[in-house]
Chains A and B, each alone.
Chain A
Amino acid sequence: MYLTESFGSCEVWGTFSLASLWRDCYSPPMPDGQDRVNTSSTEGADDRALLRAVAARDKEALRQLYTRHSAVLFALALKVLSDRAEAEDVLQEAFVQVWKTAGSFDEGRGKPIGWLIMLTRSRAIDRLRSRKTRTRVTESMAKDASQVGEARTPADEALATEAQRTVRTALKSLPSEQRVAIELAYFGGLTQFEIAQQLSQPLGTVKTRIRNGMMRLREQLGGGGKGDQSP
């Protein structure tokens, strides 16, 4: 019974594509400044409208928000934790938090996807820091850092959106030492001091690597200010 239901859900999942999710999610707002769709029917509404609907206890809006962003957020949590079960727990916690605190989201401080990423990443890193084996995980991440930003399999490449490919290309173009330092901070949750210890490099060197790497990423990716094409 459960198996059949799961298969049914999997079929539904198969109809989604990350590309369409990103396209729908980051389409620019309507010229008149209004939401694309009124909040009584949340179909197609933009993220801000969806968050307002969630704050008004609209579960359909929460479902749409999940449908749009769960893949990216889950991939982020999985990258941090390397454990599907824990990544799903983190995603669940993040969306429950959204449900509880959507009303506190400050639209003037950024885009909803940035907020969702922050909620997911901070929870994932909290879990990572609570692990006794954290050191081993980050060491593994340091070793695997050369692969970060690259599609690991043809299937992964096929699923990757244009935005994902752009970011991966930008990361791949960085000198490896800059990329490793940034990845250890962002995905590994390490502070600059911990990264310096991990890489056996002076603290100033680590700061410079992260700073230069981020400046190059800003040049290549921009600050997300061009419409809504990035988080």
Chain B
Amino acid sequence: MTHEAFREMLPLYVVGALDGDELHNFERYIAENRERCIAELAEYQAVADQIALAAPSAKPSPNLYDRIAAAVDDGKRPTTAPAGAAVAVPAPRAKPPGFHVGAVIVRLVPWAAAAVLAVVLMNLNTQLQIVTRQLRATTDAYNSLVATNREQQGSLADLNGRLEAQNKDFGGKLEQLRTKNVEQKHDLDALRAANKQLSEEKDGLLRATGRMRDQVEQQNLQTAVLQRKMDEETSSLDLFMDPATRVTPLVDPKGESKVVAKVYWNGGRKTGFMVVSNCSPVQQGQGKCLELWAICGSEPPVAAGMGWTDDSGHAVFPVKLAKDMACIDKFAVTVERAGGVPAPVGAPVLIGQ
């Protein structure tokens, strides 16, 4: 057996698990290598001894030591004959002279009575010991129960105390939680109300934003119209300011109506406009229009623009020649079907030179 094997078997040995040849070999190895093994053996044996402390706590009966003390006392008086001692057997007595059976019987009667009495007393003593033992066991059990009851009552009182303290503590904490819960509920309601108000305000702002956007778009459209008008006005103003612009007044050739008109024409820019007043209304959408004609000598008239009056007989429309002309001697206006015609059909209502 090697010392390594000794070390492997040592933990099993100290808890009493080794048996058979292994136990025999192990103990022989220890005997042969005492000095080398003793320290390791003592260390593991001490660990094993501590396992005894894991047993649940228990107390022996209070009177157990009395029994031990009694047993120790009995041990001082050997109850069996010492080993090797000769058994004392009384030697048979020699019959005395004049020995008679009847006399012997008479002499043995007191001894027999004493023997019977001794037997009776021994029986009584045995029964007394049995009763005493039973009483002792009952007392031990009773004392054990009392001790257990006392311990359990102590534990119960302790548990009750801890339970009451915990209950009180829990009650306080529960009340705090309830109060906090109510506060939080109030806060939550306030937050919900504020949220609702904010939501309504947000909807209002969204609606207002939509309206403002519509207004802005409308204003943009108006601005564009105004810008276009302003551009036209600016263009007209430029035309008026240009010294090359010629003004041609137009009148009713028959002299029957009060209609008056002027054609502003700039030959360099090849553009101009016409202004009509006091004309019988020729409004858009009624199938007719006023059409301006430019005339150069005996050449056929050239279309120079068309337009409509408002309901008061006032009209302004641009002058734009359909084709280039060598000269312009006259302007004339006829009433034609809507969209204009390539050559004048109606009679001139206005004419100027």
Contacts and interface: CB of A to CB of B under 8 A. Distances in A.
Interface of A: 2-3, 5-7, 9-10, 12-14, 18, 59, 62-63, 66-67, 70-76, 78-79, 84-85, 87-88, 91-92, 95-96, 99-100, 109-111, 113-114, 117-118, 121, 125, 148-149, 151-156, 158-161, 163-164, 167-168, 171, 182, 185-187, 189-193, 195, 206-207, 210-211, 213-215, 217-218, 221-225, 230-231
Nearest to A188: B16
A157 to B, nearest CB: 9
- Chain B contact residues: helix, strand, loop or mixed: helix
B152 interface: yes
Interface of B: 8, 11-12, 14-20, 38, 42-65, 67-69, 71-72, 75, 132, 135-137, 139-140, 142-144, 146-148, 151-152, 154-155, 158-159
B57 A75 contact: yes
Contacts of A221: 47, 50
A192 B44 contact: no
Mostly, the A contact residues are: helix
A72 B71 contact: no
A2 to B, nearest CB: 6
Contacts of B18: 191-192
Contact of B47 (A84, A192, A217): A217
Given A2-B136, A125-B16, A190-B17, A79 B50 contact: no
B53 A163 contact: yes
A74 B50 contact: no
Nearest to A164: B53
Q: Which of B8, B60, B155 has the most CB of A within 10 A?
A: B60
A91 B64 contact: yes
B52 A121 contact: yes
Which of A18, A168, A192, A217 is the most central at the interface, judged by chain B CB atoms within 10 Å of its CB? A192
B155 A153 contact: yes
A114 B49 contact: yes
A66 B65 contact: yes
A78 B15 contact: no
Given A109-B38, A186-B15, A211-B11, 5 more contacts: A113-B49, A210-B12, A214-B14, A214-B15, A224-B43
Contact of B57 (A159, A214, A224, A225): A159
Nearest to A114: B49
Contact of A72 (B52, B137, B140, B142): B52
Given A79-B55, A110-B42, A59 B72 contact: yes
B212 to A, nearest CB: 78
Nearest to A219: B47
A75 B55 contact: yes
Contacts of B152: 153, 155
5 contacts: A6-B63, A62-B69, A91-B64, A192-B17, A218-B44
3 smallest CB-CB distances across A and B, nearest first, come from A224-B46, A9-B62, A223-B43
A75 B56 contact: yes
Contact of A114 (B15, B46, B59): B46
Contacts of A2: 132, 135-136, 139
Nearest to B58: A75
Contact of B68 (A92, A114, A167): A92
Given A95-B68, A231-B46, A186 B57 contact: no
A6 B143 contact: yes
Contacts of A70: 59-60, 64-65
A91 B69 CA distance: 12
Contacts of A161: 53
A205 B17 CA distance: 13
A191 B24 CA distance: 14
A50 B50 CA distance: 21
Given A6-B140, A167-B53, A207-B12, A192 B19 contact: yes
A44 B18 CA distance: 38
B77 to A, nearest CB: 14
Contacts of A18: 57
Contacts of B49: 113-114, 117-118, 224, 230-231
Given A88-B61, A117-B52, A159-B57, A96 B19 contact: no
B262 to A, nearest CB: 120
Contacts of B140: 6, 84
Contacts of B71: 92, 96
A73 B57 CA distance: 10
A63 B65 contact: yes
Contact of B11 (A99, A158, A214): A214
Contact of B12 (A66, A72, A192, A222): A192
A85 B137 CA distance: 8
Nearest to A62: B72
Contacts of A167: 50-51, 53-54
A18 B152 CA distance: 18
A159 B56 CA distance: 9
A74 B17 contact: no
Contacts of B146: 10
